[in-house]
Amino acid sequence: MSSVRKSKNAVDLTQKTFFVMTGASRGIGRTMAIECAAKMATGSVIVLIARTAAGLEETKAQILAKNPSNVTVFLITLDLTRPSAEQISSQIFDATLNERNLDEFKLAMIVHNVGSIGDVKRYAKDFCDMDEWHDYYAINVFSVIAMNTEFLKRFNTQTRRLVVNISSKLALQPCKSLTMYCSGKAAREMYFRTLALEECERDSALSILNYAPGPVQTEMTEEIETSAVEFGVREVFKGLRETKTMLQPIETTIKFLRVIESGDYESGAHIDYYDN
């Protein structure tokens, strides 16, 4: 009997892995970090990044409780509002790789989960402060690009690499009240799609995924429900919560793991929680 051939995009999380998760102190980022790390082999390096140290400590504790293997977990508190390339290089990669032989890792994986909702109390026509726009794009787009560039610069061999952008349905579809969020997610996803178009055909060891986790019960969706300027948007999110159709972080994480382990997507594709 012939074995089933796996997709070239499939990844094996049970290998020795270098794993970076941004926005790892709570919500989706915490749950994805815990569940991915639970599968990883002895010697894996797990890098958790967020602005708050207390949340990262809790994520680390849960990782070590769930994975009895000898993995190393680094916690990096970094404000990504206006990071420099030098900061990202030294504080994230120099500090965690620490002159390791990169070839010892069979998989290098980065999940770009960092993100903020922006001001949901105004309509698009009312956003005229360019400093506000710059600050929003700095954390949600520019820092992601800078970190991703450094990641691919370090892991530029034939090491198996997976780059994941935590996207949203709203990267593709506008929503009233969510001007900043929609535009930031759209810009970010198009960067990754372009990167995939340029790199993945010639580099079979690299895969890029835009994963939209669906409406998840987090502080972000709570803010939309209570503060969105558009009444109808508030009602939609309130309805999701009241009917218990709002997803829990573990539900979307299970789907995410199934997607990356099967590799059943085209590199650069947008995969939604509700896709078959």
- Give the model confidence (pLDDT) of 183-194 as tens digits: 999 999 999 999
Whole-number pLDDT of residue 276: 83
**Count of positions (residues) in the chain:** 276
How does residue 70 score in pLDDT terms, banded at 50, 70 and 90?
confident
pLDDT of residue 3 exceeding 60: no
Q: What is the pLDDT of residues 135-145, one digit of tens each?
A: 999 999 999 99
CA 189 to chain centre: 11
CA gap 73, 60 in Å, rounded? 7
Asked whether residue 226 is assigned to any structural domain, the reply reads: no
As for how many domains the chain has, the answer is 1
Averaged pLDDT for residues 193-200: 97
Q: What is the pLDDT of residues 82-141, one digit of tens each?
A: 778 888 999 899 999 988 889 899 999 999 999 999 999 999 999 999 999 999 999 999
Percent of the chain scoring above 90 in pLDDT: 84
Q: Name the residue range of residue 72's domain.
A: 17-214+248-272
Asked whether residue 5 is assigned to any structural domain, the reply reads: no
Whole-number pLDDT of residue 236: 94
Asked whether residue 78 is assigned to any structural domain, the reply reads: yes
Query: 89-118 b/e with 16+ CB inside 10 Å = b?
Result: bebbbeebbeeeeeeebbbbbbbbbbbbbb
How does residue 17 score in pLDDT terms, banded at 50, 70 and 90?
very high
Q: How many CB atoms lie within 10 A of CB 243?
A: 8
Three-class secondary structure assignment of 200-248: CCCCCCEEEEEEECCCECCHHHHHHHHHCCCHHHHHHHHHHHHCCCCEC
Asked whether residue 26 is assigned to any structural domain, the reply reads: yes
Whole-number pLDDT of residue 67: 84
Closest CA to 208 of 250, 259, 275: 259
Calculate the average pLDDT of the chain.
Answer: 93
Of 35-39, 168-172, 242-246, the range with the lowest mean pLDDT is 242-246
Whole-number pLDDT of residue 5: 53
Whole-number pLDDT of residue 83: 73
Q: What is the pLDDT of residues 211-228, one digit of tens each?
A: 999 999 998 899 999 999
pLDDT of residue 7 exceeding 90: no
Asked whether residue 243 is assigned to any structural domain, the reply reads: no
Asked whether residue 109 is assigned to any structural domain, the reply reads: yes
Averaged pLDDT for residues 23-30: 95
Half-sphere exposure at residue 232, Cβ-oriented, CA atoms within 13 angstroms: 2
Asked whether residue 153 is assigned to any structural domain, the reply reads: yes
Q: What is the pLDDT of residues 243-265, one digit of tens each?
A: 989 999 999 999 999 999 999 99
CATH of the domain at 89: 3.40.50.720
Whole-number pLDDT of residue 68: 76
pLDDT of residue 4 exceeding 80: no
pTM given for the model? 0.94
Averaged pLDDT for residues 70-76: 94
Asked whether residue 186 is assigned to any structural domain, the reply reads: yes
Whole-number pLDDT of residue 158: 80
